[in-house]
Amino acid sequence: AQSVTQPDIHITVSEGASLELRCNYSYGATPYLFWYVQSPGQGLQLLLKYFSGDTLVQGIKGFEAEFKRSQSSFNLRKPSVHWSDAAEYFCAVGARRGSGNTGKLIFGQGTTLQVKP
């Protein structure tokens, strides 16, 4: 069965410091992988996704993530965090069916990011 684990429930970093949010997945083949961000009172917004090809993917707001097949990981990074990055971050895995993505996503439980001034 597919599953996603985000080991860190809560992370606090200082503004300007680097950030890495961990994500491990369980899936029988190469999945589609996503990172979403959810700010209070806002809908989930896609930061980036991995479909195939280059294992280092760039997203919006200066985020990047690296797919490591050998570690079943898809960690999210940002070199310098801004106060506006404080939010909840979700890693998700999507199943492939035939040649396409069914769209059904399995989410991790999320990591809450707090940014200290």
Partner 1 sequence: DTGVSQDPRHKITKRGQNVTFRCDPISEHNRLYWYRQTLGQGPEFLTYFQNEAQLEKSRLLSDRFSAERPKGSFSTLEIQRTEQGDSAMYLCASSLGVPAGELFFGEGSRLTVL
107 near 90, Cβ under 8 Å?
yes
Using CA atoms in the order 19, 72, 6, 87, what is the torsion angle rounded to 10 degrees?
40
Interface with partner 1 (CB under 8 A), residue total 28
Site for partner 1 contains 66 (CB under 8 A): no
CB-based burial, 57-83: b 16+ in 10 Å, e otherwise? bebeeebbbbbeeeeebbbbebeebee
Residue closer to partner 1, measured from CB, 45 or 80: 45
Per CB under 8 A, does 43 bind partner 1?
Answer: yes
* Joined tokens for residue 6: 């985000």
Q: Considering the rule CB under 8 A, would residue 117 count as an interface residue with partner 1?
A: no
Q: Which stretch binds partner 1 (CB under 8 A): 11-19, 63-71, 76-84, 89-97?
A: 89-97
Contact window for partner 1 (CB under 8 A) among 15-23, 46-54, 57-65, 70-78 = 46-54
3-state secondary structure at position 70: helix
CB 66 within 8 A of CB 75: yes
Q: Is 86 in the site for partner 1 (CB under 8 A)?
A: no
Is residue 65 near partner 1 by the rule CB under 8 A? no
Where on the chain is the footprint of partner 1 (CB under 8 A)?
A: 4, 9, 32, 36, 41-46, 49, 51, 90, 92, 94, 96, 99-110
